[in-house]
Amino acid sequence: MINGVATELISVRDRGFQYGDGCFETLRLINHHPLLLGKHIERLNRTCQLLQIQFDPETLQTELSNFIHNCTPSGVIKIILTRGIGGRGYSATKNVIANRILQYTEYPDKYSGLADLGVCVGISKMRLSENSALAGHKHLNRLDQVLASFDVRGDLDEVLCMDSSGYVIEGTKSNIVIVREGEVLTPDLNVAGVNGVMLNYIRQQFKDAGIEIKDRNLTLEEVKTASEVFLCNSVFGVWPVKKIVEHESVKMWQIGPVTLKALSCHRELLASVG
């Protein structure tokens, strides 16, 4: 659906296509409820402010309600906002109303059971782009993630991506949280990475339970020697990491108490719309 109209065709002149001039969100749909919609709209809003694109959350929500009404009750919803057509070359018109693209896909079969069993994670050779202005934002420039995903092979469910200094930033489609020496840590996202909605949901739930998730630079060695590691995103929720594979070296974990707490936060979220 584009701007409320049932179509999947867009002009190649749309700046989303020409330059990745826009942003997006991917949400879990449960019983016709898009999970954490308010938080996803907040993030769209922050990125639209950076890009100087206008969008009216109420219009988006109305279109989304109509769209969801015609979808299978559960699955995955993607919202894309772009600057539309206009400007000359890179030069953009500021404060135009965003084009709104809505898409539905089924929840991936291959994700079933991974929250219980844990996932197997590799290390990507692709280093993430560093840019403090774009860091944290879920914009449409996603070649880093596309190229890093080439390294998700064999029995790997995800790969970890580092910046050029060798700090672990995130997975291709997930944030990472580790437990080390009694601290719960997640990478600093000031120069690269996406400020995840699920990460922040868990952060808030943990905070309410008196557990602080601290942001700081994390080396791969620190991740590999953590006592617990889990991944999170808005689609699969929480994945305990049971194995990190790097060349011949394999590090394995049992699911620990902090990860169980994160899994339980996510289950409560699902139950709230069940």
Q: Does 18 bind a second copy (CB under 8 A)?
A: yes
User: Total residues contacting a second copy (rule CB under 8 A)?
Assistant: 55
Q: In the complex with a second copy, which residue's Cβ is closer, 78 or 267? A: 78
| Residue 146 binds a second copy, judged by CB under 8 A | yes
In the list 61, 74, 107, 147, the residue contacting a second copy (rule: CB under 8 A) is: 147
Does the footprint of a second copy cover residue 52 (CB under 8 A)? yes
Amino acid at 152: V
Among 32, 73, 86, 143, binds a second copy (CB under 8 A): 143
Q: Assess contact for 22 and 100: CB atoms under 8 A.
A: no
Cβ count near 245 (within 10 Å): 17
Given 39, 138, 173, 242, the catalytic residue: 138
Asked whether the beta carbons of 201 and 172 are under 8 A apart, the reply is: no
Q: Does 170 participate in binding a second copy (rule CB under 8 A)?
A: no
- The reply to whether 93 sits near a second copy by the rule CB under 8 A is no
Between CA 206 and CA 186 the distance in angstroms is 13
Contact assessment for residue 144 and residue 134, using Cβ atoms and an 8 Å cutoff:
no
Is residue 39 among the annotated active site residues? no
Choices 36-44, 66-74, 136-144, 218-226 (CB under 8 A): range interacting with a second copy: 136-144
Tell me how far apart the alpha carbons of residues 91 and 105 are, in angstroms, rounded to a whole number: 34
148 and 162 in contact (C-beta within 8 Å)? no
Q: At 155, phi and psi to the nearest 5?
A: -95, 15
Contacts for 273 with CB less than 8 Å, ≥ 6 apart: 30, 31, 33, 35
Q: 3, 54, 59, 103: which one contacts a second copy (CB under 8 A)?
A: 103
Is 170 part of the annotated catalytic residue set?
yes
Cα–Cα distance measured from residue 175 to residue 184, given in angstroms and rounded to the nearest whole number = 13
Is residue 150 involved in binding a second copy (CB under 8 A)?
yes
What CA–CA distance (Å, rounded) separates 241 from 158? 10
- Does residue number 241 form part of the binding site for a second copy (CB under 8 A)? no
Q: Does 14 bind a second copy (CB under 8 A)?
A: yes
Give CA–CA dist 111/107, Å, rounded.
Answer: 8
195 contacts: CB under 8 Å, gap ≥ 6: 43, 136, 137, 138, 189
Question: Any contact of residue 13 with a second copy (CB under 8 A)?
Answer: yes
Residues 171-210 that bind a second copy (CB under 8 A): 172-173, 191
Q: Which is nearer to a second copy, 139 or 261 (CB)?
A: 139
Question: Contacting a second copy (CB under 8 A), which of 38, 73, 86, 108?
Answer: 108
Of the candidate spans 33-41, 120-128, 195-203, 211-219, the one that interacts with a second copy by CB under 8 A turns out to be 120-128
Active site residues: 26, 138, 170
List contacts with a second copy (CB under 8 A). 2, 8-21, 24, 50-52, 80, 88-92, 94, 101, 103, 108, 126-134, 139-150, 152, 164, 172-173, 191
